[in-house]
Chains A and B, each alone.
Chain A
Amino acid sequence: MKFPLHRFAAALAVAAVAALAALPAQAAKDVVFAVASTFTTTDPYDANDTLSQAMAKSFYEGLYGFDKDMKMIPVLATSYEVSSDGLVYTLHLRHGVKFHDGTDFNAEAVKVNLDRVTNPDNHLKRYGLYSVIAKTEAVDPYTARITLKNPFSAFINDLAHPSGVMISPAAIQKYGKEIAFHPVGTGPFEFVEWKQPDYLKVKKFAGYWQKGLPKIDTITWRSVVDNNARAAMMQTGEAQFTFPVPYEIADVLKKKPDLALVAAPSIVIRYLSMNTQQKPFDNVKVREAIAYAINKQALAKVAFNGYAEPAAGVVPQGVEYAVKMAPWPYDLAKAKALMKEAGYPDGFETELWSAYNHTTAQKVTQFIQQQLQQIGIRTRITLLESGQRVQRVESWQDPKTAGVRLYYVGWSSSTGEADWALRPLLYGESWPPTLFNTAYYKSDKVDADIKGALLTTDSKEKARLYKDAQETIWHDAPWAPLVVEKLLSANSKKLTGVYVMPDASFNFTNADLK
């Protein structure tokens, strides 16, 4: 060998030093989030899915927002005052905030954004949430005044809703309808590229107003439809965070030493609504019997692999003004007695529809079918596909001919407030096709409470009214409340500060990678 050994060693050493020097002082912190569906849009005002709105939090922020426990917090606003008639909201804005394109955030930006969504010509899908606004004015650069058409006490919650974000007015001007492909906000990350249907990438925004944040350099949001593929990515380290984790894969991921499986509380309630306008469900005793006949604890175990809890009330804990009650007990003897009193000692036949056609819904409906058989109720199960659901339930025009009887469905109040947990589902004017009162429930007392709570600005009075409404509903039993789900996510143990919020949105402002 001509090449002397010591020179070879020296060369190696030089190479090693060079390699070390080539590394940056800190390795780039690139994080991949694997999520279950494709994003529909980056414009939260035009999105109806939680996932797209959660992703949009990378680059957008609202005037108000929610922390990881669903507590409302000021974000781009600092405080607000409301007039005594509940019509005029005055918002004080944060100073020194800039959009990614360098535009200043001020009251004019608030006006541009709210004017955009309240103009029906823009055809934005979240129009309904903000249609209560009559006008928005910029009083001075850091004060905005919003006037409502009628008092609406949950208004600040609407502003905190993930769709109520501030988009750069300059960008709206520049891109118009194409703004969804060029998002420009004030958030911790800047938009890089969106390669549909594969991924959406964002990078750290150097001028972010919260000093020291964000701590990671890039986030790549990858849409991976298949559950198994997401689990595989977590195991190979191709992704650092994934949501949702299906129950059947939870155990596999739990065993991996470098992964953490997190079961977070949610405000997603699953219930069985009963058509109170139709026989035999017009009889409260039948409805109670059904609620008694279902073992919710066992249901949580069988269908949700234990990642759910029996529903403790009409509105899940974590929603503002929710009243906690003892879960509806499982009492077969009482259920049978009630059926006899109602005049159905031998039970009856009826329809059981599910709003979803996935595996969990299949397990739930089969379990309910088997439980109701114990009190003589024979059910025919139909798992509705999304189009069928819209046609047969949600847009059914005539309540008298509605085919829905027992209906398994779920809800999560996206504004984090009792109004949106009760009004769409149990208000007398919310029968389909208006909203989703699939029980066709109508109680003058509950209607008055819900209406009254929207008019008052006094939070004590509001709490009293909502408590009364929830107790009345519990008593009338238009639903058999079933369970409140837990949200399963998995993350690499190196990743910290990423949370799944109770409404299945994400909080990742403080995310860091070790």
Chain B
Amino acid sequence: MLQYTVKRLFGLLPTLFLVGVLVFLFVHLLPGDPARLAAGPDATPETVALVRHDLGLDQSLPRQFVRFVTGVLHWDFGRSLSTKRPVSVEIGSRFMPTFWLTVWSMAWSVTLGMTIGIVSAVWRNRWPDRLGMTIAVSGISFPAFALGMVLMQVFAVDLGWLPTIGDDTWLHYILPSLTLGAAVAAIMARFTRSSFVEILGDDFIRTARAKGLDERQVIWRHAMRNALIPVVTMMGLQFGFLLGGSIVVEKVFNWPGLGRLLVDAVDMRDYPVIQALVLLFSLEFIVINLVVDVLYGFINPTIRYR
């Protein structure tokens, strides 16, 4: 398995290179001149020229690309066009808030979602199922920004129990992680339920029941492991999405995370920041996929890696 992991890790290099090329081209195709934007609303042409030179945008596109690639190879992603700080610092300071928010949101939403899903599957078409799926459907349909605003109004403004914005203490994490996790919990619940329902109808479950196993044993030992495979895949995907930083939640709660950084960067045509962020997001997805693949082996030992 170690061999497999190493092989996969090397395999991601060409993918990342392709992503890098595409992102570079895509970003430079965006309409608008970053030098003009950075120089501001009342800048004279000489000032714009100065800024353009300062940002290295007066060089030809191939040359800028070579500079970008050699920079990346040396772990240097350049400097942000708008703040002039190194891109690595810019992203570094925003990564942890997004990461922890993602972890907390995933922790509660996966626990709750899977519980609801299993309960719904076991008591299919009875009242726990109806209740669980009602909650799940409302969780999916309620838009995150509305949920965030309602939560803030009720718990911060009216009741005064929790702070409104920022990420200074653990109290600050409660409302954003609730908002961010709601949709994930709903998706996980529905996914777990359908996966479990399918497995519970399989022959080997009937066999397990027929040989007189306790129903609890049937569900936890036989059904769980098999039903978990698609659920874990979904979990990985959701984790990847959230790690990209939720633009909506980060805006509503003024979270100093990656989502807002990306929006600001696109607004200002901050090429180096956009490029580095997209590379980071791709890397995150690839790594998460790898982890998920490796997890399959633990969940179901019959899966072999080559």
Residue of B nearest to A38 (CB): B264
B157:A236 contact, CB within 8 angstroms: yes
Kindly list 4 other residue pairs between chains A and B, CB separation below 8 angstroms, not including A196-B90, A224-B254, A391-B33: A222-B254, A225-B251, A233-B164, A388-B32
**Which one, B47-55, B62-70, B213-221, B233-241, is touching chain A?**
B47-55
The answer to the question of A510 belonging to the interface, with a C-beta cut-off of 8 Å to chain B, is no
**Which residues from chain A contact B39 at a C-beta distance below 8 Å?**
48, 125
The answer to the question of A232 belonging to the interface, with a C-beta cut-off of 8 Å to chain B, is yes
Residue of A nearest to B46 (CB): A128
Selected contact of B53 from candidates A48, A123, A226, CB within 8 Å? A123
The answer to the question of B14 belonging to the interface, with a C-beta cut-off of 8 Å to chain A, is no
A48:B31 contact, CB within 8 angstroms: no
Q: Contact flags (1/0) for A162-201 with B, using CB distance below 8 Å?
A: 0000000000000000001000000000000001111000
Residue of A nearest to B266 (CB): A387
Q: Contact flags (1/0) for A433-468 with B, using CB distance below 8 Å?
A: 111100000000000000000000000000000000
**Which residues from chain B contact A367 at a C-beta distance below 8 Å?**
none
Q: Contact flags (1/0) for B156-169 with A, using CB distance below 8 Å?
A: 11001001111100
B30:A387 contact, CB within 8 angstroms: yes
The answer to the question of B296 belonging to the interface, with a C-beta cut-off of 8 Å to chain A, is no
The answer to the question of A228 belonging to the interface, with a C-beta cut-off of 8 Å to chain B, is yes
The answer to the question of B190 belonging to the interface, with a C-beta cut-off of 8 Å to chain A, is no
The answer to the question of B193 belonging to the interface, with a C-beta cut-off of 8 Å to chain A, is no
The answer to the question of A278 belonging to the interface, with a C-beta cut-off of 8 Å to chain B, is no
**Which residues from chain B contact A248 at a C-beta distance below 8 Å?**
none
A123:B54 contact, CB within 8 angstroms: yes
A123:B50 contact, CB within 8 angstroms: yes
CB distance from A28 to the nearest CB of B (A): 18
The answer to the question of A131 belonging to the interface, with a C-beta cut-off of 8 Å to chain B, is yes
**Which residues from chain A contact B51 at a C-beta distance below 8 Å?**
123, 125
| A contacts with B, residue count (CB < 8 A) | 48
Known: A226-B252, A229-B165, A390-B37. A236 touches B32 (CB 8 A): no
A232:B267 contact, CB within 8 angstroms: no
**Which residues from chain A contact B201 at a C-beta distance below 8 Å?**
none
**Which residues from chain B contact A436 at a C-beta distance below 8 Å?**
41-42
List 14 A-B pairs, Cβ < 8 Å: A38-B264, A40-B83, A48-B39, A197-B256, A226-B252, A228-B152, A229-B252, A232-B156, A233-B164, A236-B156, A238-B165, A386-B37, A387-B269, A436-B42
Residues of B near any A CB (own CB < 8 A)? 30-33, 36-47, 50-51, 53-54, 82-85, 90, 93-94, 149, 152-153, 156-157, 160, 163-167, 251-254, 256, 260-261, 264, 267, 269
Selected contact of A128 from candidates B32, B33, B44, B90, CB within 8 Å? B44
B32:A386 contact, CB within 8 angstroms: yes
**Which residues from chain A contact B31 at a C-beta distance below 8 Å?**
387-388, 391-392
B42:A420 contact, CB within 8 angstroms: yes
Interface residues of A in 23-38 (CB under 8 A from B): 38
Selected contact of A394 from candidates B36, B253, B256, B269, CB within 8 Å? B36
Selected contact of A232 from candidates B37, B94, B157, B251, CB within 8 Å? B157
The answer to the question of A62 belonging to the interface, with a C-beta cut-off of 8 Å to chain B, is no
The answer to the question of A395 belonging to the interface, with a C-beta cut-off of 8 Å to chain B, is yes
B32:A226 contact, CB within 8 angstroms: no
B38:A125 contact, CB within 8 angstroms: yes
Instruction: A390 to B41: give the CA distance in the assembly, Å.
Output: 10
Instruction: A236 to B260: give the CA distance in the assembly, Å.
Output: 24
A238:B164 contact, CB within 8 angstroms: yes
A232:B164 contact, CB within 8 angstroms: yes
**Which residues from chain B contact A131 at a C-beta distance below 8 Å?**
44, 46
Instruction: A223 to B264: give the CA distance in the assembly, Å.
Output: 13
The answer to the question of A127 belonging to the interface, with a C-beta cut-off of 8 Å to chain B, is yes
**Which residues from chain A contact B46 at a C-beta distance below 8 Å?**
120, 127-128, 131
Selected contact of A435 from candidates B30, B44, B53, CB within 8 Å? B44
Instruction: A233 to B83: give the CA distance in the assembly, Å.
Output: 27
CB distance from A417 to the nearest CB of B (A): 13
Instruction: A229 to B250: give the CA distance in the assembly, Å.
Output: 11
Instruction: A395 to B39: give the CA distance in the assembly, Å.
Output: 12
